[in-house]
Amino acid sequence: MAKSTTSTSTSTSTSTSPSTSTTTTNAFAGVTSGQALAAAAVVVGAVGAYLYWRKTSSKPPPPRSTPKPTLSGSAGAAAAGKGASTSGDAAPRASSTYAHGRVPSAAAAKAIASVESAYGASIEVLRGIVNSMMQEMRKGLAKENGAAMKMIISHVSNLPTGKEKGRFLALDLGGSNFRVLLLTLDGHGQCKSESDKYVLTQELMTGTGESLFDFIAESVQGFLESRGITETLPLGFTFSFPVQQESINSGKLIRWTKGFHASGVEGQDVGRLLNEAFARKGIKVNVAAIVNDTVGTQIARCLDDQNCYVGLILGTGSNTCYLEDVTAIPKWTGPAPKTGKVIINMEWGAFDDEIQRLPYTPHDRTMDAASINRGQQLFEKMISGMYLGEISRLVAVELAESGQLFQGTLTSKFREVQAFKTAMMSEIESDDTVDLSLTRDLLHREFGLPLNKITIDDRMIIKRICELVSTRAARIAAAGIVAVATKIAKTHDCTVAVDGTLFQRYPNFEHRLTAAVAELLPGISTKIHFKRSEDGSGKGAALVAALAQTQ
């Protein structure tokens, strides 16, 4: 069993927020006047390109109606057709990134400008996403399968008050790791948690459902035995995939996402499958709740923040949930909960699978074609960590094949699908060395690119690609959040609980997200606040298990 880490933490319901000298020579001595003029034109062009570069790198340019440069005549043209020109933020960068006298050549600046054109995500595009998403939300709430976004009723209607008391288990399945967690609540807003993390292999993610759930059961068994726990505890199961929830503790998997494809699970009640695995192992555990990770993230933050109306995951995958009035859910059947509200799991990764609003590029299309769920979850694929590295790689490959990057040289490793990870993007964006030497070393180490083929221009281009792809992701995600807050009339005072490594660890991602929200909601003072929900999918699931005892 591949257990990797153990952690213990204690917290309260108090709200917290994360955290030269120069030599001058006559360059034109001995040349004809025509040659001098030609050389001067090149210099002027390079300086002009550099000024444009710095302008789009540190301060958003004004909207432009003129056609943008295209990326090798394909991606940029396609994006421009979708209104993807850069009128809002180009990727924000630290002012010191290129403050060491490094000026990109005219050719490099031209290549960068073409990528900026394709990946700008203009304010007009974002507003279109806001309006379209609100329409799709209403369709999904009106009837089952009324929209690509499922708008699933979670059956979680109570929110934590801090008075919950007892010991509760949580299981967290939704990415490349799986966790078992024990949460102890003292009834006064204080909680203590301890957890173990286990690595999921590709074989488990794509093998049989029975093998996957047996692994989960074995993990729980080992967790309980290592702590001498013998009593039966309520368990909240964070199952971060589209589930048609039938009750608080049962629901059928609609389809796998995020690279999972275990057989025999789609269409089945995952609560029953988990209970059957426990029975096979003789484990006394009561599955009290099935919880999507977004719901768990929101619930965990609600313990500290009564204005938390939205939960957001920005990590390997992405999804959002929010608190909705039951009267705004035409597809609701049966008596309304006492609170009159319920959390809706949007499954927003499926938004605009028809590609009517998203600034889709040929790189997105190529990435999707090679994915395990082709044609699905297109919104998620544009904003989540599992896919951003591959999109960046495809942009770089196109530039290299056109001779604009690495002097046209590419190794077989760089051509491998998914070889360029989002974690590498993060490392590159964090590179503030004088000559971007960390970027050079990464490209040489991970892909075998010859050092003499990785020029300073190449490093600038690669870094800018990473900035633009990640900034597009942040801006599109921000449009989605504004749509949700607008739908429930909470744009003036709304906390969004956020979990996921993309938001928490990727350089400048949080800043780019909040900047785009401010751009979409000008003049609103309090606006929307993004607050980290530490361990929302673990702590939150255990809290839902506690709430289920009284719901």
Catalytic residues: 258, 293
Count of helix runs (H) and strand runs (E) in the chain: 17, 14
CB atoms within 10 A of CB 474: 27
Q: How far apart are CA 102 and CA 536, in angstroms?
A: 43
Of residues 456, 381, 472, 390, the one with CA closest to residue 425: 390
Q: Are 17 and 531 in contact (CB under 8 A)?
A: yes
Q: Are 167 and 151 in contact (CB under 8 A)?
A: no
Q: How far apart are CA 515 and CA 501, in angstroms?
A: 19
Q: Are 335 and 320 in contact (CB under 8 A)?
A: no
Query: Which two tokens mark 330?
Result: 């035409």
Q: How far apart are CA 370 and CA 450, in angstroms?
A: 28
Amino acid identity of residue 103, one-letter, is V
Query: Which two tokens mark 481?
Result: 């959040």
**What sections of 402-535 are H helices per DSSP?**
422-429, 437-447, 456-487, 501-505, 509-520
Query: Which two tokens mark 416?
Result: 């491998």
Burial 370-388 (b: 16+ CB within 10 A, else e): ebebeebbbbbbbbbbbbb
320 SS3 class: strand
- The residues near 190 (Cβ < 8 Å, ≥ 6 apart) are 10, 11, 12, 13
Residue found under tokens 């003072």: 525
* Alpha-carbon distance values, 235 to 183, 443, 511, 541, 548 (Å): 10, 45, 36, 8, 10
Q: What is the arrangement of strands in the sheet containing 177-186, beginning at the earlier edge strand?
A: 3-11, 191-199, 177-186, 165-173, 233-239, 285-291
Query: Which two tokens mark 260?
Result: 């999972």
- The residues near 213 (Cβ < 8 Å, ≥ 6 apart) are 273, 274, 276, 277
Q: Are 249 and 288 in contact (CB under 8 A)?
A: yes
The DSSP annotation for 54-78 comes to HHHHHSPPPP--SPPP-STTTHHHH
Of residues 79, 132, 60, the one with CA closest to residue 480: 132
DSSP state of 28: T
Q: How far apart are CA 317 and CA 44, in angstroms?
A: 45
Query: Which two tokens mark 350?
Result: 């499926």
Of residues 217, 237, 228, 222, the one with CA closest to residue 169: 237
